[in-house]
Every structure is written in C-alpha cells, then in structure tokens.
Amino acid sequence: MAFHDKDIIILGAGIIGCTIARTLLEKGFNVKLVAKHLPGDEDIWYASNWAGALWHGARDLSANYKYLQTVSYRRFMNDYKMDKTCGVCKVRVQEYFDEYPSDDDLWFRAVNSNYEELESHYSGNYAFGCEFDSVVIEPPRYLPFLKNQIESLGGQFIRKEIKDIQELYDEFGDSMIFVNASGVGPKYIKGIFDPDSYPNRGQNVLIKTRTDYAVRRAGKEYTYIIPRPMSGVVVLGGVNQPDQTHSEVDESIVKDEIRRAHELAPDIVSEDPEIAGIIVAIRPGRKGTFRLEKQKVGHRYLVHAYGTNGKGYAYSYGIAHDVCSKIEEIERDCCTSV
C-alpha cells in the first residue's frame, strides 16, 4: 500500500486531536480518530468541551512556543472570518499586570491587533494595563464545527476506549503512523504510562451578562473574565487543583471566583451576579511542559501531542502544524530511501 493511502490513526478527539486531524486532511492524508469522548460530549474528563477559551499570549515562552500560539491565532481568526457561526468570536481584551511587564511579556503585540496601553485602570491597583483584540472560542459550538469540517474532508470518528496502546496497533495493522493526542490519557494507558502526566482540576462560574470585553489579571491572582458573546454568558475563573478529580462543585471556589472577578472588573461582574452554571473539568497537566515528539516503535511511529494543561486552545493549531511537519518528514524518509 502506498504511504499516502495508509490511514493515520489519531488517539483522542479533543481540540488537539481534532486540529491535528483537520490539518492532516487538508494536506491530503487519510485520517481516523479513535476516542472515548467525541465533539458534543459533556464529561469532566473531556477538557476541550469546557475551556474558556481565550487566546492569550502567555509569558516566559521560547520563540518556538510563541510561534505555535501565533499559528493558532491565525487559524482561529481565519475561521472567524470565514464563518461567523463557527463558535469563534472577536473580543477586546484588557490585561492588568501586578508588576511592570518586560518587552518580552508583551510579545503578543505582534499578534493581537489594535494594542494600546491604558492610562486609567479599574482600581489603580495595578502597575500596568493594556488592551488589544483577540479571539474567544466557545467549545460547545466550535468542536461540532470542527467535527463537520473533518468529516467533510473524509476523516472518520470511531468511539472506543483503549487500555493499552497495543490495541490500536492490532486493530489498525496496515497503519504506520499513530498520533497520541489523548490529553491526560498517557497517565493511564499501558504502553505509554507517562509519570509526568497528571490531572489538573478546574472549576469556573458562568454568569448571565453581556460584554465584548475579556479581562485578565497577570500576577498575584490567576483571574480571568471571558465573554461568550454568542451565548450571552461570561466565564469567571480560575483555579488549578493538581491531582484532584472530583466532580462535585466546591462552593468556596464559586464565591472566591466571583469576588476576584468583581474586584477586577466591577462594571462587568456585580457583587452578586446571576449564575448560569458551574463548569468542572480536568485539564491534561504535564510536569514541565506538553509532549510534542516523534517516537519510533518497531516499524511504526507514534507522534505524541498531549499535556497542554490550561493552554490547549492557544497551542492547538500550532501543535497540529508541528505534528504535520513531523509526519511529512517520515513520509519523505519512507518515500525516498529506496
């Protein structure tokens, strides 16, 4: 069978698996996604359904990581331009810094348009404030959009949970390339068992209010306010609880997130807002950073792309393009070394 005729098997159908699938299909590869959870599912272990999700240029990044995030921004912005119902919205972001940022902290000025520094801050409590355009993604709308895109390009979804990576090799005996985009799965899947993977519980409050502004505080408190303009709600966060996996709502976190959001942006979040829902979900944490590498396993390749923790949307298409390049390198080696 010719190289390009073989199916590439992707384990995982969250934002990472789906953006990889779409990118590979656009390049002409055949793709099958195998996953326990698929777009449309609501399970706390399916992180992608619950993200905020604001594109935000993180601090302290290498040039390569900045570029991965930049690629994602370009792709989300393009979806926004092409289809206003896809679940991507353009918003204005206000960011407040507890300490004066370095030039490097503000690297995103090259990505986000209409950047400006703020002269008057909400409370005057911050060392620096700025404003810029960005995108938010509403996962319950965007994931089904991606599923449609993938299926219309010929990709197939197969619902299945695996316990051992060997199950995939046995079921797809003709395939040579497997992509591991299983989120926190590698902590539990035999044949991978990654000791650096860990579940990182998040809990957010959804409130009923309308705004086109996202607000973030960078520094002492991890606080964000993310609008979902298509749904008339705003997401308040956040909290990181490494190694916690319970699904029950912690009321003290609800109160604390509302208090912090109100302090940050009192004109968007009142002291006692109308709560529209609570989100509880498990982020795919990984000590150090996410894993993005190609591994040779016998005559097969396993390309790892998992562990994006709280930044999976921001990195998604960048990771997908990198995985695609790795697979094209394999194609080149296979088709030219006769």
- Residues engaged in binding ligand FAD (CB under 6 A): 11-17, 35-37, 46-48, 50-54, 161-162, 181-183, 185, 189, 202, 204, 279, 281, 283-284, 306, 308-314
Nearer to ligand FAD, 129 or 204 (CB): 204
Nearer to ligand FAD, 181 or 302 (CB): 181
Residues 6+ apart with CB under 8 A from 153: 22, 25, 26
Write the DSSP string, 5-24: GSEEEEE--SHHHHHHHHHH
Q: Which is nearer to ligand FAD, 129 or 310 (CB)?
A: 310
**C-beta closer to ligand FAD: residue 47 or 323:** 47
List strand residue ranges (DSSP E) for the chain, in order. 7-11, 30-35, 88-97, 116-117, 128-137, 156-159, 177-180, 197-208, 213-218, 223-228, 233-237, 241-242, 275-286, 291-297, 300-306
Q: Which is nearer to ligand FAD, 58 or 334 (CB)?
A: 58
Beta-bridged to residue 271, according to DSSP, are: none
What is the sign, positive or negative, of the torsion defined by CA atoms of 188, 190, 192, 193? positive
Please identify, using beta-carbon distances, which residue of 24 and 279 lies nearer to ligand FAD.
279
Q: Please, what is the minimum distance in Å from the beta carbon of residue 63 to ligand FAD?
A: 19
In the complex, least distance from residue 2 CB atom to ligand FAD, rounded to whole angstroms: 28
- For the chain, how big is the Rg over CA atoms in Å? 20
User: Is the separation of the CB atoms in 301 and 176 below 8 Å?
Assistant: yes
Min dist. Cβ of residue 281 to ligand FAD (A): 4
- Measured from the CB of residue 124, what is the shortest distance to ligand FAD in angstroms? 27
- Is residue 332 exposed (0-12), middle (13-18) or buried (19+ Cβ within 10 Å)? exposed
Residue 99 CB, shortest distance to ligand FAD, in Å, is 22
**What minimum distance in Å lies between the beta carbon of 79 and ligand FAD?**
15
| Upstream peptide bond of 238 is cis (omega within 30 degrees of 0) | yes
Smallest gap from residue 240 Cβ to ligand FAD (A): 10
* Closest alpha carbon to 15 in 319, 324, 303, 304: 319
Cα–Cα dist 225/208, whole Å: 12
Of 13 and 89, the one with the shorter C-beta distance to ligand FAD is 13
